[in-house]
Structure 1
Amino acid sequence: MSEHIRDDDRSNPSRHDSLTDIVDRAIAVNPQRRRLMLGGLGAATLPFFSFSLAACGGGSDGEAAERMLGFTAVAAASGDTVVVPAGYTAQVIAPWGAPIDALAPAFKADASNTAAEQEQQIGDNHDGMAFFGFNAAGNGFGNRSDEGLLVFNHEYINPEYFYAVAAGETDWTTNFTLEKARKGQAGHGGSIVHVRRNSGGAWEQVLNSPYNRRIHGNTPMTIQGPARGNDLMKTEADPGGIEVLGMLNNCGNGRTPWGTYLTCEENFNGYFGWNGPRTPSALENRYGLTAAGFGYRWHTVDPRFDLNANENEPNRFGWIVEIDPFSPSSKPIKRTALGRFKHENAELVVASDGKVVVYMGCDERNEYLYKFVSTGTFDAANPTSAANRRLLESGTLYVAKFAAGSTLNDNMGTGTWVPLVFGENGLTTANGFANQGDVMIRSRQASDFVGATMMDRPEWVAANPKVPGEVFVTLTNNNRRGGTTSNNPDGSTAAGSARPPVDEANPRSNNVWGHIVRWNEAGGNASALSFNWDIFVLAGQPSVTGARAPSANVTADNLFNSPDGLAFDSFGRMWIQTDGNYSNAGDFANMGNNQMLVADPATKEIRRFLVGPSGCEVTGITWTPDRKTMFVNIQHPGEVGSGSGRHPRISADQTDAQIAANPTMLSSWPASQTAGATPVRPRAATVVVRRSDGGVIGG
């Protein structure tokens, strides 16, 4: 998720426990927890650490011989190129505006492509991503590592770069039209790109492939699950509440063992607004809908995004969307059984009892951690069967409730998964919930009601493939912690209202660096309803002592802030991507640009593997089945940022008009990746990383 337009919001007015309150009580019961959590001890510190170490040492197919972190770490950098370790290469493919197929128009360097042309071009701000290898015949889902489909999200657009500025216009906001709104909608969604490795070892798009496909803000999609046909889903254009146009703000992703792609609608609220007077409802407030949104202006020219014209339209966004990349004519499906909130990613695992489990975070300060457990069980003998493809239709959505433990053997704390089921836990008509569809549409309010634990911006969730039931979540940062005031849902500030307190889990009154929490499901079963938890790492500056100090596994050699993207490779390496402050000054001195690091979950060692270009976020990661090619997305190179997170080469008085006049003033990546190339406005793109000797990435 990008920082620049939305992460200061808070829509949760609840006053029940946050994770920080729980840790306060845990430390009051047993003061030794302070030493355990901040001492940065290794695998023997807590009981399940030793289990993790033993489990990660195993493997099959030669994996045991692989070194966990077998590369030389790269230094922090603040240039305008992607930096990878010695012995590795970085190649750029599929930038914003590249033709999706052989018939699509070329990208125009002045950004003057039309909305219709953008629908035929790769969208902007690449995010979550998955590689689907072809089968041996080259016509379906399989395990080939030389050719397949690369599927990736387009989270949002940077209007200052995305739109051309015509004669007589000052910047993109001048003379905003429906055509501009439609182009913006076309820049969102996702791309399905046929790629292959050529004889020289480089990767390329296969432009004449029938699989190439753009999915955007106006692509028809089916609504499926308990919210299908709900009164809150019905509009004048869709009186049945069964079909919606498009998906928006697609952030992280997931993939299924039956060969489909899961994409996650996150900050959908920012595309809606209203013209004229309106008193927002409790539902609209709880999901952060405001009159101006993020300032994209769509609601001023497109009635679909004006709540005074279509008050139910926002309810049709904020879902997990399932896409079949191998069926170009198929409709994407919004899976409403998985809940409606600001989805970051969707980590799917098959539990030991055969249930399909999907972990999800709601990316906003003081929001919640969720998991979905399917009603049916996965048929491993027939992975692509029709029955497996229906597993996300029915199941139970749970929200996490963390509790403190009373002894050191509790692994710091315990927790339970609370079901969000109509008729249970007070989710009844007497308390304002009409049916299961209503509970799913109002997942945040249902979670408020059952007393779920407020978290510090839960973003990507990743499950350790080497330790069944071990799962991690990035908690990116929180500048709404400590002090005496907090933001109300309407954006105002009420003096005297309490923010979540400072404590061992979040030991900084202004948690600018973030951290990662780990939990272990009971019995190693992902569908279990209880878990133990601890803190894996607190990011920050090792020179800082006292309450703001980071974990001991953060050193001068691996400084980072704002962990965001998170994924495991098949060896059990945990890859951490950052989306934070890139000013390289003050609290963020010596951290450089956003980056990607690798951690050994057993020893807690962390090394920096990649640094992105100027002003970017590093997000989205996937591998070929042989793990010898890694794809990484670079989002919003050259982004201005805001507040203390502004680009270090731009002053507070810089405007979009100045960028319009000089679109390469902050970055020209990916052109800057090639020495001597002509500078062009920055474009999000995918980076292909390979070892020069053809070996496995990271080993």
Structure 2
Amino acid sequence: MSAYELDYPDHTQSPDHQPGDEPRCNLSANETFHDVLETRLKRRSVLVGGLATAVGALFVGTALNSVARVAGAQAATGGLVGFQPVPVSTADTVVVPKGYKVQVLAPWGTPISGTMPTFGPSRSGADQAHQIGMHHDGMHFFPIDGSSTDGLLVMNHEYVEPRFLHAARYAGQELKSDEVMVTDGKRPDDDVLKEMNAHGVSVVRVKRGADGTWSVVADPHNRRITGLTPMEVTGPVRGTAHVVTKYSPDGTRTRGTLNNCANGYTPWNTYLAAEENWAGYFRNGDQQDQKPNLPREQARYGVKAGGMSRYGWELAAGGAEEYRRFDASQTGNSAAEDYRNEPNCFGWVVEIDPFDPGKAPVKRTHLGRFAHEGVVFAPAVAGKPVVAYSGDDARFEYIYKFVSARPYDPATASGALLDEGTLYVARFNEDGSGDWLALAPGQNGLTPQNGFTGLADILVNTRLAADRAGATKMDRPEWGAVDPRTGAVYFTLTNNSRRTEEQVHPANPRAKNNYGHIVRWTEAKGDHAATSFQWDIFVLGGDEQAGRGPNGQKLTADNILACPDGLWFDAEARLWIQTDIGESAQNKGDMAVMGNNQMLCADPATGEMRRFLTGPIGQEITGITGTPDGRTIFVNVQHPGATTSPKDWAAGKLASHWPEGGSALPRSATLVISREDGGVVGS
């Protein structure tokens, strides 16, 4: 990947850049997944000849015989996908198959608590703390008493678009989607407060009425977790020097969660919010010899050296420390007198109990510190360890697995299981095998001599530890999903655009491939706690010429896709795939044929895959969950209208007005999708 890493000195000019994406951080010499994949393809093509056979070998690997056996048995009883596919679309609307209906629920600004302030572009920062946040992402439906019509919907809010959030004051200004207004080096306190309160997580009770319509209802469980919410730090990093700050001199607490992308939910019925592109929210002006002097735990993650942070929260005019903490420069005599360690309090997985509003959220540090896209658990089995997978969503980063030290007991299980165990990182081998490399003291080169003084140091510097261990550099690992029938693990790898025309060969026919793919593996002997696995490719994104489906077949007009992102198995083992073509690439060049971002449904048993949904203009489809009976699914539409250019924003010409239409501001929102006949969605 080294050639591609140098193609764009300014990472924001990459064709697949999105707001908040990190600059290039992984400078290790570790093999990339594409290095491994190319070598394997070359060997296959030399042995058996021809691209079709080489690609086919990647999709039907003998290593996944257990998957094939289960799939074959299921296929004999008929496939899982029963709807008619929808075509690609560039319209400013949501399209679902014939026989389905869709409702919009809980758009940004919906009141859920306090005085229930209604949505409006002039609402205050305090109001936003009682409203649904901005830019919906991962979510989960927690049924109340097992109900499929009443439950708590918990969702992440990844980031904010200031020009929409402050629309009343930002109107008429030429502003990019991520840009804020700074006057004389300062930002209004209430603007900063509103932005921080639009981040985080929403917990809201939703019910289905007798007419089938879902609604948000006032309830004591309803609450917002934001960039200001007090939180506990647990696990090996708790109480260590790494997280000592002026706010928490004993290193046990912090404030807020940010850039929550995908999610997870535990076997003990709690919610996990993953902190993804958090590093850009901080800046550090420390220098040595007139050059930036960032500690490794900031430099390896992309904390900005000098200048203003992503939103400039540290510039809040009032100078309150809850805002100043986003400047990680050393200003005191010790870490307990400033916020030099504040970035170390982010990059974790946050556990939230949706049924206990009085319980503080908890940052579980043994799951590692990186740009967590989400967390997915293997099925929990009494008497065996709990196993959770997570991807680090940045170019050339890694896939991780946590295995608990203590076994799962349904009667006593709690988040404490995530505080003791072993964190592993994946190495993918050329022959289709793989290894889990332990990130633990004394193992895989993680010794004091190599700069790792103990477990807490390893976890704060998870990326550096993975570099040292020799993990395989992946192409933006995003969501994961575990097949409930076979136990196979699937991960989306959103894109890889580094290949040049000179590097094209029969086994890799696409130059500047932005399309991405989905990798799948099975753990040794079917044990998710195993330290080895076998992998293959499930889907190669692309158009009808370049793409390949689950069995290696060419994609068709009914299932072409690019940049797979969200991933979720329903209870009947349908695999739902969501796409996230970046704002700068949507409906342009190679992506023009893909239309707006979409959601597809695949049957891993038969290899069938069909497009189920297309979204409005400028958005990504992300976040999916469902009711226990499978008759309702919830899907998020994030940042509609984000493709509005600065000039068009200034002129009041928005790319999208979804969901309200007319001249309304576009708003992220949740879709409620069901069959008109009341059947199981997707069947």
The answer to whether the superposition gives a TM-score over 0.5 is yes
The equivalences for 1:102-117 within 5 A come to 103-108=115-120, 111-117=121-127
Q: Among residues 199, 212, 228, which one is paired with 2:210 in the alignment? A: 199
For residue 460 of structure 1, report the CA deviation from its aligned partner.
0.6
Native 8 Å contact 2:163 2:170 kept in 1: no
- The residue that corresponds to 1:82 in the other structure is 94
Amino acid of the structure 2 residue aligned with 1:157? V
Q: Residues 518-533 of structure 1: matches in 2 within 5 Å?
A: 518-533=520-535
1:591-670 correspondence to structure 2 within 5 Å? 591-640=594-643, 650=645, 654-655=646-647, 658-659=648-649, 662=652, 665-670=654-659
For the residues of structure 1 that align with 2:276 and 2:315, how far apart are their CA atoms? 22
Q: When the two structures are superposed, what TM-score results if normalisation uses the length of structure 2?
A: 0.88
Distance 1:34 1:315, change over 3 A: farther
Unpaired stretches in structure 2, ≥5 consecutive residues: 1-15, 317-322, 332-338
Matched, 1:249 2:259: yes
1:624 positional shift: 0.3
Q: 1:396 to 1:285 in 2, by over 3 A?
A: same
Match among 294, 299, 324 for residue 285 of structure 1: 299
Contact 1:464 / 1:572 at 8 angstroms: preserved in 2? Answer: yes
Write the letter of the residue equivalent to 2:660. Answer: A
Q: Deviations over 1:668-691 (max 9, x none)?
A: 11113xxxxx43101101000000
Question: Could you tell me whether the CA contact under 8 Å between 1:300 and 1:306 is conserved in 2?
Answer: no
1:36 shift after superposition: 7.5
Quote the offset at 1:42 in angstroms: 9.8
**Cα displacement (A) at 1:504:** 8.7
1:448 aligns with 2:463: no
**Match of residue 478, structure 1, among 496, 515, 518:** 496
Any residues of structure 2 matched to 1:289-688 within 5 Å, and which?
Answer: 289-290=303-304, 291-292=306-307, 295-301=310-316, 302-308=323-329, 309=331, 310-350=339-379, 354-380=384-410, 382=411, 385=412, 387-405=413-431, 413-468=432-487, 470-481=488-499, 508-543=510-545, 552-581=553-582, 583-640=586-643, 650=645, 654-655=646-647, 658-659=648-649, 662=652, 665-672=654-661, 678-688=662-672
Distance 1:543 1:24, change over 3 A: closer
Corresponding letter in the other structure for 1:400: A
Aligned equivalent of 1:410: none
Cα distance in 2 for residues equivalent to 1:202 and 1:305 = 42
Q: Is the aligned partner of 1:690 residue 2:674?
A: yes
Q: Output the CA distance in 2 between the equivalents of 1:514 and 1:508.
A: 11
Shift of 1:50: 5.7
- State the SS of the aligned residue for 2:449: helix
Question: Shift of the alpha carbon at 1:131?
Answer: 0.3
CA contact (8 A) 2:22 2:280 kept: no
In the alignment, what sits opposite 2:240? 230
Following the alignment from structure 1 to structure 2, what is the Cα–Cα distance between the partners of residues 429 and 659?
53
Shift of 1:401: 0.8
**2:545–2:555: 8 Å Cα contact kept in structure 1?**
no
Contact 1:351 1:527 in 2 (8 A): no
Contact 1:192 1:213 in 2 (8 A): yes
Give the paired residue count: 635
Query: SS where residue 344 of structure 2 aligns?
Result: helix
How many Å separate the matches in 2 of 1:317 and 1:504?
44
Counterpart contact for 1:27–1:33, Cα < 8 Å: no
The alpha carbon displacement at 1:23 in A equals 2.9
Offset at residue 610 of structure 1 (A): 0.4
Deviations 1:274-295 (A, max 9, x none): 4585422333221011134663
Distance 2:52 2:526 in 1: 23
Change (3 A) 1:114 1:519: same
Paired with 1:329 and 1:148, the residues of 2 have a C-alpha distance of 18
Distance 1:390 1:22 in 2: 37
Query: 8 Å contact 1:49–1:602 — kept in the other structure?
Result: no
SS in 2 for 1:20: helix
Shift of 1:134: 0.7
Q: CA deviation at 1:536?
A: 1.1
Q: Distance in 2 between matches of 1:559 and 1:459?
A: 19
Match of 1:11 in 2: 25
Shift of residue 435, structure 1, vs aligned partner: 1.4
Please give the root-mean-square deviation of Cα atoms over the aligned residues, in Å: 2.7
Residues 120 and 48 of structure 1: CA distance in aligned 2, closer, same or farther (over 3 Å):
same
Letter in 1 for 2:249: P
CA spacing shift, 1:660–1:27, aligned 2, 3 Å: closer
2:649 and 2:327 map into 1 onto residues whose CA distance is 29
Gaps of 5+ in 1: 136-142, 406-412, 485-500, 641-646, 673-677
Change (3 A) 1:22 1:113: same
Distance 2:342 2:508 in 1: 37
Percent identical residues: 45
- The question of whether the paired residues in 2 share the 8 Å contact of 1:351 and 1:525 is answered with no
Residues in 2 aligned to 1:397 and 1:315: alpha-carbon distance in whole angstroms: 18
Q: Would the aligned equivalents of 2:208 and 2:215 in 1 still touch at CA under 8 Å?
A: yes
